Amino acid sequence: MDQTKIDTLRAQTVPAFEHLIDGKHMPASDGRTMDVISPIDGSVLTTTAAGTSADMTAAIASARAAFEDGRWAGQPPAARKAVLMRWADLIERNALELAVLGVRDNGTEISMALKAEPGSAATTIRYYAEALDKIYGEIAPTSADILGMIHKEPVGVVGAIIPWNFPMMIGAWKLGPALAMGNSVVLKPAETASLSLMRMAELALEAGLPPGVLNAVTGEGRVVGETLGLSMEVDVLAFTGSGATGRRLMEYAARSNMKRVYLELGGKSPNIVFADAPNLDEAAKVAAAGIFRNAGQVCVAGSRLLVEASIHDDFVAAVGKATQAMRVGDPLRVDTNIGAVNSETQLKANLGFVDTARSEGGEIVLGGDRIMAETGGYYMAPTIVTGVGRDATLAQKEVFGPILAVTPFETEQEAVSLANSTVYGLAGAAWTANLGRAHRMVKAVRTGVMHINTYGGADGTVPLGGVGQSGNGSDKSLHAIEKYVNLKTAWIKL
Protein backbone atom coordinates (compact mmCIF):
# COMPACT_ATOMS: atom_id res chain seq x y z
CA MET A 1 0.00 0.00 0.00
CA ASP A 2 1.50 3.29 -1.11
CA GLN A 3 1.37 5.96 1.61
CA THR A 4 2.20 8.69 -0.91
CA LYS A 5 -0.83 7.83 -3.06
CA ILE A 6 -3.01 7.74 0.03
CA ASP A 7 -1.77 11.18 1.11
CA THR A 8 -2.44 12.57 -2.38
CA LEU A 9 -6.02 11.29 -2.32
CA ARG A 10 -6.50 12.60 1.22
CA ALA A 11 -5.57 16.10 0.07
CA GLN A 12 -8.22 16.18 -2.66
CA THR A 13 -11.33 18.26 -2.15
CA VAL A 14 -14.45 16.11 -1.92
CA PRO A 15 -17.30 17.47 -4.06
CA ALA A 16 -20.80 17.79 -2.69
CA PHE A 17 -22.90 14.66 -3.17
CA GLU A 18 -26.47 14.69 -4.45
CA HIS A 19 -29.10 11.98 -4.75
CA LEU A 20 -28.95 9.53 -7.63
CA ILE A 21 -32.48 9.26 -9.05
CA ASP A 22 -33.40 7.86 -12.44
CA GLY A 23 -29.76 7.98 -13.50
CA LYS A 24 -29.34 11.67 -12.65
CA HIS A 25 -27.75 13.60 -9.82
CA MET A 26 -30.47 15.49 -7.99
CA PRO A 27 -30.34 17.96 -5.09
CA ALA A 28 -32.82 17.73 -2.25
CA SER A 29 -36.20 19.03 -3.34
CA ASP A 30 -35.98 21.84 -0.77
CA GLY A 31 -32.30 22.52 -1.43
CA ARG A 32 -31.10 21.54 2.03
CA THR A 33 -27.78 19.77 2.62
CA MET A 34 -26.09 17.96 5.50
CA ASP A 35 -22.48 18.51 6.57
CA VAL A 36 -20.25 15.44 6.42
CA ILE A 37 -17.99 15.49 9.49
CA SER A 38 -14.76 13.52 9.18
CA PRO A 39 -14.04 11.51 12.36
CA ILE A 40 -10.32 11.83 11.60
CA ASP A 41 -10.16 15.46 12.69
CA GLY A 42 -13.73 16.69 13.19
CA SER A 43 -13.61 18.86 10.07
CA VAL A 44 -16.39 19.33 7.53
CA LEU A 45 -15.41 17.10 4.61
CA THR A 46 -18.23 17.97 2.21
CA THR A 47 -22.03 17.98 2.10
CA THR A 48 -24.71 15.54 1.02
CA ALA A 49 -28.29 16.21 0.02
CA ALA A 50 -30.64 16.26 3.01
CA GLY A 51 -33.32 14.12 1.46
CA THR A 52 -37.01 14.82 1.83
CA SER A 53 -39.94 12.42 1.73
CA ALA A 54 -40.64 13.70 -1.78
CA ASP A 55 -37.10 12.80 -2.85
CA MET A 56 -37.47 9.23 -1.60
CA THR A 57 -40.90 8.93 -3.20
CA ALA A 58 -39.39 9.98 -6.53
CA ALA A 59 -36.60 7.42 -6.19
CA ILE A 60 -39.10 4.66 -5.42
CA ALA A 61 -41.24 5.66 -8.41
CA SER A 62 -38.16 5.52 -10.63
CA ALA A 63 -37.30 2.06 -9.37
CA ARG A 64 -40.86 0.86 -9.86
CA ALA A 65 -41.02 2.18 -13.41
CA ALA A 66 -37.69 0.54 -14.24
CA PHE A 67 -38.89 -2.78 -12.91
CA GLU A 68 -42.26 -2.70 -14.61
CA ASP A 69 -40.92 -1.87 -18.08
CA GLY A 70 -38.35 -4.67 -17.85
CA ARG A 71 -35.31 -2.58 -18.77
CA TRP A 72 -33.30 -4.72 -16.32
CA ALA A 73 -35.49 -7.61 -15.19
CA GLY A 74 -36.30 -8.36 -18.82
CA GLN A 75 -32.70 -8.58 -19.94
CA PRO A 76 -31.24 -12.05 -20.53
CA PRO A 77 -29.14 -13.35 -17.64
CA ALA A 78 -25.98 -13.06 -19.72
CA ALA A 79 -26.62 -9.35 -20.27
CA ARG A 80 -27.18 -8.66 -16.57
CA LYS A 81 -24.06 -10.66 -15.80
CA ALA A 82 -21.94 -8.58 -18.16
CA VAL A 83 -23.04 -5.31 -16.55
CA LEU A 84 -22.37 -6.55 -13.02
CA MET A 85 -18.96 -7.85 -14.02
CA ARG A 86 -18.06 -4.44 -15.50
CA TRP A 87 -19.26 -2.83 -12.28
CA ALA A 88 -17.00 -5.07 -10.21
CA ASP A 89 -14.08 -4.21 -12.50
CA LEU A 90 -14.71 -0.49 -12.02
CA ILE A 91 -14.88 -0.87 -8.24
CA GLU A 92 -11.58 -2.73 -8.30
CA ARG A 93 -9.97 -0.21 -10.65
CA ASN A 94 -10.95 2.65 -8.32
CA ALA A 95 -10.33 0.73 -5.12
CA LEU A 96 -7.83 3.05 -3.45
CA GLU A 97 -9.87 6.16 -4.29
CA LEU A 98 -12.99 4.51 -2.84
CA ALA A 99 -11.20 3.26 0.26
CA VAL A 100 -9.65 6.64 1.07
CA LEU A 101 -12.97 8.41 0.51
CA GLY A 102 -14.65 5.93 2.86
CA VAL A 103 -11.98 6.28 5.55
CA ARG A 104 -12.25 10.07 5.47
CA ASP A 105 -15.99 9.58 5.99
CA ASN A 106 -16.16 6.85 8.66
CA GLY A 107 -12.70 6.43 10.23
CA THR A 108 -11.92 2.78 9.49
CA GLU A 109 -8.17 2.17 9.33
CA ILE A 110 -7.02 2.04 5.70
CA SER A 111 -5.22 -1.26 6.22
CA MET A 112 -8.61 -2.86 6.84
CA ALA A 113 -10.74 -0.64 4.63
CA LEU A 114 -9.00 -1.34 1.32
CA LYS A 115 -9.70 -5.06 1.54
CA ALA A 116 -12.97 -4.97 3.49
CA GLU A 117 -14.65 -2.23 1.47
CA PRO A 118 -13.89 -2.01 -2.29
CA GLY A 119 -12.06 -5.33 -2.27
CA SER A 120 -14.96 -7.16 -0.67
CA ALA A 121 -17.58 -5.26 -2.69
CA ALA A 122 -15.98 -6.17 -6.02
CA THR A 123 -15.68 -9.81 -4.98
CA THR A 124 -19.32 -9.90 -3.87
CA ILE A 125 -20.68 -8.32 -7.06
CA ARG A 126 -18.67 -10.80 -9.14
CA TYR A 127 -19.91 -13.72 -7.05
CA TYR A 128 -23.56 -12.93 -7.76
CA ALA A 129 -22.86 -12.03 -11.38
CA GLU A 130 -21.36 -15.49 -11.84
CA ALA A 131 -24.27 -17.11 -10.00
CA LEU A 132 -27.22 -15.43 -11.69
CA ASP A 133 -27.29 -17.60 -14.81
CA LYS A 134 -27.00 -20.75 -12.73
CA ILE A 135 -30.18 -20.26 -10.70
CA TYR A 136 -32.73 -22.66 -12.14
CA GLY A 137 -36.38 -23.27 -11.50
CA GLU A 138 -37.67 -26.73 -10.60
CA ILE A 139 -39.95 -29.41 -11.97
CA ALA A 140 -42.09 -31.10 -9.35
CA PRO A 141 -42.73 -34.88 -9.24
CA THR A 142 -46.42 -35.03 -10.25
CA SER A 143 -48.76 -37.40 -12.04
CA ALA A 144 -48.14 -38.24 -15.69
CA ASP A 145 -50.71 -35.78 -17.04
CA ILE A 146 -49.55 -32.76 -14.97
CA LEU A 147 -46.46 -30.62 -15.32
CA GLY A 148 -45.67 -28.86 -12.05
CA MET A 149 -43.08 -26.11 -12.43
CA ILE A 150 -41.58 -23.76 -9.85
CA HIS A 151 -40.40 -20.44 -11.28
CA LYS A 152 -38.06 -18.03 -9.48
CA GLU A 153 -39.01 -14.44 -10.23
CA PRO A 154 -37.62 -11.11 -8.98
CA VAL A 155 -39.66 -9.58 -6.18
CA GLY A 156 -39.76 -6.08 -7.71
CA VAL A 157 -38.45 -3.07 -5.77
CA VAL A 158 -35.97 -3.63 -2.94
CA GLY A 159 -35.23 -0.99 -0.31
CA ALA A 160 -31.70 -1.38 1.09
CA ILE A 161 -30.72 0.54 4.21
CA ILE A 162 -26.98 0.38 4.88
CA PRO A 163 -24.99 1.14 8.09
CA TRP A 164 -21.94 3.34 8.49
CA ASN A 165 -19.31 0.85 9.61
CA PHE A 166 -18.70 -0.98 6.30
CA PRO A 167 -21.00 0.73 3.77
CA MET A 168 -19.51 -0.73 0.58
CA MET A 169 -19.12 -4.27 1.86
CA ILE A 170 -22.57 -4.49 3.44
CA GLY A 171 -24.10 -2.55 0.56
CA ALA A 172 -22.72 -5.12 -1.90
CA TRP A 173 -24.13 -7.97 0.21
CA LYS A 174 -27.59 -6.59 -0.58
CA LEU A 175 -27.09 -5.01 -3.99
CA GLY A 176 -25.31 -8.03 -5.48
CA PRO A 177 -28.06 -10.65 -5.13
CA ALA A 178 -30.94 -8.17 -5.50
CA LEU A 179 -29.68 -6.80 -8.81
CA ALA A 180 -28.47 -10.16 -10.06
CA MET A 181 -32.00 -11.53 -9.84
CA GLY A 182 -33.44 -8.62 -11.83
CA ASN A 183 -34.84 -6.40 -9.09
CA SER A 184 -34.67 -2.63 -8.92
CA VAL A 185 -33.15 -1.12 -5.76
CA VAL A 186 -33.52 2.05 -3.74
CA LEU A 187 -30.47 2.59 -1.58
CA LYS A 188 -30.46 4.57 1.65
CA PRO A 189 -26.91 5.02 3.03
CA ALA A 190 -26.19 5.97 6.64
CA GLU A 191 -26.19 9.66 7.50
CA THR A 192 -22.65 9.49 8.92
CA ALA A 193 -21.01 7.46 6.14
CA SER A 194 -22.54 7.63 2.68
CA LEU A 195 -19.83 8.91 0.34
CA SER A 196 -18.10 5.71 -0.80
CA LEU A 197 -21.42 3.93 -1.28
CA MET A 198 -22.80 6.82 -3.33
CA ARG A 199 -19.66 6.77 -5.48
CA MET A 200 -20.06 3.02 -5.91
CA ALA A 201 -23.62 3.58 -7.14
CA GLU A 202 -22.30 6.07 -9.71
CA LEU A 203 -19.91 3.41 -10.98
CA ALA A 204 -22.87 1.08 -11.55
CA LEU A 205 -24.24 3.58 -14.06
CA GLU A 206 -20.83 3.81 -15.72
CA ALA A 207 -20.88 0.03 -16.03
CA GLY A 208 -24.15 0.18 -17.97
CA LEU A 209 -26.82 -0.40 -15.34
CA PRO A 210 -29.96 1.21 -16.83
CA PRO A 211 -31.19 4.45 -15.20
CA GLY A 212 -33.73 3.87 -12.46
CA VAL A 213 -32.59 0.35 -11.64
CA LEU A 214 -30.42 1.63 -8.79
CA ASN A 215 -31.43 4.85 -7.04
CA ALA A 216 -29.71 6.28 -3.96
CA VAL A 217 -31.08 8.90 -1.56
CA THR A 218 -29.16 10.44 1.33
CA GLY A 219 -30.80 11.95 4.37
CA GLU A 220 -32.07 11.29 7.86
CA GLY A 221 -33.59 7.93 8.63
CA ARG A 222 -36.60 9.48 10.33
CA VAL A 223 -37.43 11.19 7.01
CA VAL A 224 -36.26 9.23 3.99
CA GLY A 225 -35.92 5.90 5.80
CA GLU A 226 -39.47 6.15 7.11
CA THR A 227 -40.78 6.99 3.64
CA LEU A 228 -38.99 3.94 2.24
CA GLY A 229 -40.38 1.71 4.97
CA LEU A 230 -43.94 2.93 4.60
CA SER A 231 -44.03 2.87 0.81
CA MET A 232 -46.68 0.71 -0.85
CA GLU A 233 -44.35 0.36 -3.85
CA VAL A 234 -41.45 -1.34 -2.05
CA ASP A 235 -41.65 -5.13 -1.96
CA VAL A 236 -38.69 -6.01 0.28
CA LEU A 237 -36.67 -4.14 2.89
CA ALA A 238 -33.11 -5.30 3.61
CA PHE A 239 -31.51 -3.61 6.61
CA THR A 240 -28.34 -3.82 8.67
CA GLY A 241 -28.20 -1.74 11.83
CA SER A 242 -29.67 -1.32 15.27
CA GLY A 243 -32.46 -3.33 16.83
CA ALA A 244 -34.49 -0.20 17.50
CA THR A 245 -34.50 0.75 13.82
CA GLY A 246 -35.21 -2.84 12.82
CA ARG A 247 -38.33 -2.83 14.97
CA ARG A 248 -39.51 0.40 13.35
CA LEU A 249 -39.05 -1.08 9.89
CA MET A 250 -41.17 -4.08 10.85
CA GLU A 251 -43.85 -1.70 12.10
CA TYR A 252 -43.69 0.26 8.85
CA ALA A 253 -44.14 -2.96 6.90
CA ALA A 254 -47.21 -3.86 8.95
CA ARG A 255 -48.68 -0.38 8.48
CA SER A 256 -48.18 -0.41 4.72
CA ASN A 257 -48.15 -3.34 2.29
CA MET A 258 -46.77 -6.05 4.61
CA LYS A 259 -43.52 -6.05 2.65
CA ARG A 260 -40.93 -8.63 3.60
CA VAL A 261 -38.30 -7.28 6.02
CA TYR A 262 -34.87 -8.87 6.43
CA LEU A 263 -32.79 -7.67 9.34
CA GLU A 264 -29.17 -8.06 10.36
CA LEU A 265 -29.09 -6.42 13.76
CA GLY A 266 -26.81 -6.20 16.75
CA GLY A 267 -24.65 -8.72 18.48
CA LYS A 268 -22.97 -9.39 21.80
CA SER A 269 -20.82 -12.17 20.48
CA PRO A 270 -19.04 -14.53 22.90
CA ASN A 271 -15.41 -15.49 22.30
CA ILE A 272 -14.92 -18.56 24.51
CA VAL A 273 -11.39 -19.62 25.44
CA PHE A 274 -10.79 -22.98 27.10
CA ALA A 275 -7.58 -23.89 28.90
CA ASP A 276 -6.87 -26.55 26.27
CA ALA A 277 -6.85 -24.06 23.37
CA PRO A 278 -4.16 -25.18 20.91
CA ASN A 279 -2.31 -21.85 20.96
CA LEU A 280 -3.20 -19.39 23.69
CA ASP A 281 -0.85 -16.68 22.40
CA GLU A 282 -2.53 -16.82 18.99
CA ALA A 283 -5.95 -16.84 20.67
CA ALA A 284 -5.03 -13.69 22.59
CA LYS A 285 -3.89 -11.84 19.47
CA VAL A 286 -7.02 -12.86 17.56
CA ALA A 287 -9.24 -11.89 20.51
CA ALA A 288 -7.71 -8.40 20.54
CA ALA A 289 -8.12 -7.97 16.78
CA GLY A 290 -11.63 -9.45 16.95
CA ILE A 291 -12.86 -6.61 19.14
CA PHE A 292 -10.54 -3.67 18.47
CA ARG A 293 -10.14 -3.52 14.67
CA ASN A 294 -12.27 -0.71 13.23
CA ALA A 295 -12.50 0.58 16.81
CA GLY A 296 -14.90 -2.24 17.69
CA GLN A 297 -17.45 -1.04 15.14
CA VAL A 298 -18.10 -4.47 13.68
CA CYS A 299 -21.44 -6.25 14.03
CA VAL A 300 -19.79 -9.64 14.64
CA ALA A 301 -17.11 -8.25 16.99
CA GLY A 302 -16.09 -10.63 19.78
CA SER A 303 -17.15 -8.19 22.47
CA ARG A 304 -17.55 -10.76 25.27
CA LEU A 305 -14.44 -12.73 26.21
CA LEU A 306 -15.36 -15.80 28.26
CA VAL A 307 -12.21 -17.38 29.73
CA GLU A 308 -11.79 -20.60 31.67
CA ALA A 309 -10.99 -19.57 35.24
CA SER A 310 -7.74 -21.54 35.49
CA ILE A 311 -6.12 -19.38 32.77
CA HIS A 312 -8.10 -16.17 33.27
CA ASP A 313 -5.41 -13.88 34.65
CA ASP A 314 -2.64 -15.02 32.31
CA PHE A 315 -4.89 -14.87 29.27
CA VAL A 316 -6.23 -11.40 30.07
CA ALA A 317 -2.62 -10.26 30.44
CA ALA A 318 -1.81 -11.76 27.02
CA VAL A 319 -4.78 -9.99 25.44
CA GLY A 320 -3.65 -6.75 27.05
CA LYS A 321 -0.15 -7.20 25.67
CA ALA A 322 -1.53 -7.89 22.18
CA THR A 323 -3.77 -4.83 22.45
CA GLN A 324 -0.93 -2.55 23.49
CA ALA A 325 0.97 -3.64 20.38
CA MET A 326 -1.88 -2.28 18.22
CA ARG A 327 -1.45 1.32 17.15
CA VAL A 328 -4.39 3.70 17.52
CA GLY A 329 -4.14 6.69 15.26
CA ASP A 330 -4.79 8.45 11.98
CA PRO A 331 -6.74 5.87 9.97
CA LEU A 332 -5.12 7.01 6.72
CA ARG A 333 -1.68 5.91 7.92
CA VAL A 334 -0.80 2.41 6.70
CA ASP A 335 0.76 1.52 10.08
CA THR A 336 -2.42 2.28 12.03
CA ASN A 337 -4.19 -0.77 13.45
CA ILE A 338 -7.17 0.95 15.09
CA GLY A 339 -8.81 3.99 13.54
CA ALA A 340 -11.36 6.54 14.68
CA VAL A 341 -14.78 6.13 16.21
CA ASN A 342 -17.37 7.10 13.60
CA SER A 343 -18.85 10.15 15.32
CA GLU A 344 -18.78 12.25 18.45
CA THR A 345 -22.17 10.80 19.40
CA GLN A 346 -20.82 7.26 19.19
CA LEU A 347 -17.71 8.19 21.18
CA LYS A 348 -19.79 9.67 24.00
CA ALA A 349 -21.96 6.55 24.08
CA ASN A 350 -18.85 4.35 24.33
CA LEU A 351 -17.45 6.37 27.23
CA GLY A 352 -20.83 6.13 28.93
CA PHE A 353 -20.60 2.34 28.82
CA VAL A 354 -17.21 2.54 30.55
CA ASP A 355 -18.71 4.66 33.34
CA THR A 356 -21.58 2.20 33.73
CA ALA A 357 -19.23 -0.78 33.81
CA ARG A 358 -17.17 0.86 36.54
CA SER A 359 -20.28 1.66 38.59
CA GLU A 360 -21.43 -1.97 38.30
CA GLY A 361 -18.19 -3.36 39.71
CA GLY A 362 -16.15 -3.95 36.57
CA GLU A 363 -12.41 -3.29 36.67
CA ILE A 364 -10.94 -1.23 33.85
CA VAL A 365 -7.60 -2.98 33.30
CA LEU A 366 -6.74 -1.16 30.08
CA GLY A 367 -7.91 2.03 28.38
CA GLY A 368 -11.30 3.53 29.14
CA ASP A 369 -10.62 7.06 27.93
CA ARG A 370 -10.84 9.35 24.93
CA ILE A 371 -7.41 9.90 23.40
CA MET A 372 -5.93 12.22 20.76
CA ALA A 373 -8.55 14.87 21.47
CA GLU A 374 -6.07 17.51 20.29
CA THR A 375 -6.57 16.28 16.70
CA GLY A 376 -10.25 17.22 16.79
CA GLY A 377 -11.05 13.60 15.85
CA TYR A 378 -12.91 10.90 17.71
CA TYR A 379 -10.46 8.37 19.14
CA MET A 380 -10.81 6.00 22.08
CA ALA A 381 -8.22 3.84 23.79
CA PRO A 382 -8.99 0.13 23.39
CA THR A 383 -10.57 -0.88 26.66
CA ILE A 384 -10.58 -4.14 28.62
CA VAL A 385 -12.98 -4.59 31.52
CA THR A 386 -12.75 -7.62 33.82
CA GLY A 387 -15.18 -8.85 36.46
CA VAL A 388 -18.16 -8.40 34.14
CA GLY A 389 -21.08 -10.39 35.56
CA ARG A 390 -23.64 -12.30 33.54
CA ASP A 391 -26.30 -9.61 33.93
CA ALA A 392 -24.06 -6.54 33.77
CA THR A 393 -24.88 -3.88 31.21
CA LEU A 394 -21.60 -4.54 29.43
CA ALA A 395 -22.51 -8.22 29.09
CA GLN A 396 -26.01 -7.56 27.78
CA LYS A 397 -25.98 -4.39 25.67
CA GLU A 398 -24.23 -3.92 22.34
CA VAL A 399 -21.64 -1.17 22.64
CA PHE A 400 -20.34 -0.99 19.06
CA GLY A 401 -17.05 0.39 20.24
CA PRO A 402 -13.57 -0.71 21.38
CA ILE A 403 -14.64 -2.22 24.71
CA LEU A 404 -14.00 -5.86 25.68
CA ALA A 405 -16.00 -7.40 28.53
CA VAL A 406 -14.24 -10.32 30.27
CA THR A 407 -16.04 -13.00 32.30
CA PRO A 408 -14.54 -16.19 33.78
CA PHE A 409 -16.20 -19.61 33.73
CA GLU A 410 -15.47 -22.95 35.40
CA THR A 411 -17.11 -25.58 33.20
CA GLU A 412 -18.14 -26.14 29.61
CA GLN A 413 -21.78 -26.04 30.67
CA GLU A 414 -21.28 -22.67 32.35
CA ALA A 415 -19.55 -21.35 29.23
CA VAL A 416 -22.53 -22.33 27.09
CA SER A 417 -24.94 -20.82 29.60
CA LEU A 418 -23.03 -17.52 29.60
CA ALA A 419 -22.75 -17.51 25.82
CA ASN A 420 -26.51 -17.90 25.46
CA SER A 421 -27.44 -15.43 28.20
CA THR A 422 -28.18 -12.45 25.91
CA VAL A 423 -30.99 -11.68 23.48
CA TYR A 424 -28.50 -11.71 20.62
CA GLY A 425 -27.18 -14.51 18.44
CA LEU A 426 -25.03 -13.19 15.61
CA ALA A 427 -21.55 -14.69 16.01
CA GLY A 428 -19.36 -16.54 18.47
CA ALA A 429 -16.18 -18.56 18.84
CA ALA A 430 -14.65 -21.33 20.90
CA TRP A 431 -10.96 -22.13 21.29
CA THR A 432 -10.23 -25.75 22.17
CA ALA A 433 -8.08 -28.68 21.07
CA ASN A 434 -10.88 -31.11 21.96
CA LEU A 435 -12.66 -32.09 18.75
CA GLY A 436 -15.73 -33.36 20.56
CA ARG A 437 -16.01 -30.13 22.54
CA ALA A 438 -15.62 -28.09 19.37
CA HIS A 439 -18.60 -29.84 17.78
CA ARG A 440 -20.62 -29.54 20.98
CA MET A 441 -19.98 -25.79 21.09
CA VAL A 442 -21.01 -25.33 17.46
CA LYS A 443 -24.27 -27.05 18.27
CA ALA A 444 -24.90 -25.56 21.71
CA VAL A 445 -24.14 -21.85 21.23
CA ARG A 446 -27.18 -20.15 19.70
CA THR A 447 -25.71 -18.00 16.97
CA GLY A 448 -25.67 -17.53 13.21
CA VAL A 449 -21.90 -17.97 12.82
CA MET A 450 -19.72 -20.06 15.12
CA HIS A 451 -15.94 -19.99 14.76
CA ILE A 452 -13.60 -22.66 16.10
CA ASN A 453 -9.97 -21.70 16.87
CA THR A 454 -10.31 -18.49 14.86
CA TYR A 455 -12.46 -15.36 14.81
CA GLY A 456 -13.80 -13.57 11.75
CA GLY A 457 -12.82 -13.97 8.13
CA ALA A 458 -15.74 -16.07 6.88
CA ASP A 459 -15.99 -15.24 3.18
CA GLY A 460 -18.88 -14.84 0.77
CA THR A 461 -19.37 -18.55 0.21
CA VAL A 462 -21.14 -18.94 3.56
CA PRO A 463 -24.18 -17.10 4.94
CA LEU A 464 -24.17 -14.44 7.63
CA GLY A 465 -27.37 -14.16 9.59
CA GLY A 466 -28.48 -13.95 13.17
CA VAL A 467 -30.91 -15.64 15.53
CA GLY A 468 -32.91 -14.09 18.33
CA GLN A 469 -32.76 -10.30 18.30
CA SER A 470 -29.80 -10.36 15.92
CA GLY A 471 -32.25 -10.58 13.06
CA ASN A 472 -33.49 -12.88 10.32
CA GLY A 473 -32.51 -13.88 6.82
CA SER A 474 -28.94 -14.17 5.58
CA ASP A 475 -26.49 -12.01 3.71
CA LYS A 476 -23.72 -13.62 1.64
CA SER A 477 -23.65 -17.00 -0.14
CA LEU A 478 -26.25 -18.34 -2.55
CA HIS A 479 -28.76 -18.36 0.31
CA ALA A 480 -28.96 -14.55 0.17
CA ILE A 481 -30.62 -14.83 -3.24
CA GLU A 482 -33.67 -16.37 -1.56
CA LYS A 483 -34.56 -12.96 -0.10
CA TYR A 484 -34.90 -11.37 -3.51
CA VAL A 485 -36.99 -13.91 -5.43
CA ASN A 486 -40.61 -14.99 -5.39
CA LEU A 487 -41.54 -18.60 -6.02
CA LYS A 488 -44.35 -19.09 -8.53
CA THR A 489 -45.98 -22.41 -9.21
CA ALA A 490 -47.14 -23.32 -12.70
CA TRP A 491 -49.61 -26.27 -12.64
CA ILE A 492 -50.10 -27.38 -16.23
CA LYS A 493 -52.59 -30.03 -17.42
CA LEU A 494 -51.00 -31.94 -20.27
Residue 339's pLDDT is 98
Assign domain 270-459 to its CATH architecture.
3-Layer(aba) Sandwich (3.40)
- pLDDT confidence bin for 1, thresholds 50/70/90: confident
Q: Is 264 a catalytic residue?
A: yes
Would you list the domain boundaries of the chain? 3-265+469-493, 270-459
**pLDDT averaged over the chain?**
97
Residue 469 pLDDT more than 90? Answer: yes
Q: Which option is the CATH number for 3-265+469-493: 3.30.565.10, 3.40.605.10, 2.60.40.10, 3.40.50.620?
A: 3.40.605.10
Cβ–Cβ under 8 Å, residues 353 and 393? yes
Q: Which whole number is the average pLDDT over 119-125?
A: 98
Q: What are the pLDDT digits (tens) for 194-239?
A: 999 999 999 999 999 999 999 999 999 999 999 999 999 999 999 9
Which residues face 69 on adjacent strands? none
Q: Which whole number is the average pLDDT over 423-443?
A: 98
Nearest to 21 by CA among 215, 248, 187: 215
- pLDDT confidence bin for 457, thresholds 50/70/90: confident
Residue 153 pLDDT more than 90? Answer: yes
Cβ–Cβ under 8 Å, residues 5 and 114? no
Give the rounded distance of the alpha carbon of 282 from its chain centre: 26
Residue 377's pLDDT is 98
Residue 49's pLDDT is 98
Q: Which whole number is the average pLDDT over 319-328?
A: 98
Q: What are the pLDDT digits (tens) for 352-378?
A: 999 999 999 999 999 999 999 999 999
Query: Environment class of residue 470 by beta-carbon count within 10 Å: exposed (0-12), middle (13-18) or buried (19+)?
Result: buried
Residue 303's pLDDT is 98
- pLDDT confidence bin for 444, thresholds 50/70/90: very high
Residue 121's pLDDT is 98
Query: Environment class of residue 10 by beta-carbon count within 10 Å: exposed (0-12), middle (13-18) or buried (19+)?
Result: middle
Q: Which whole number is the average pLDDT over 27-51?
A: 98
Residue among 109, 233, 264, 308 flagged as catalytic: 264
Instruction: Give me the torsion for CA of 290, 291, 295, 297, rounded to 10°.
Output: 90
Q: What are the pLDDT digits (tens) for 244-259?
A: 999 999 999 999 999 9
Nearest to 49 by CA among 20, 83, 77: 20
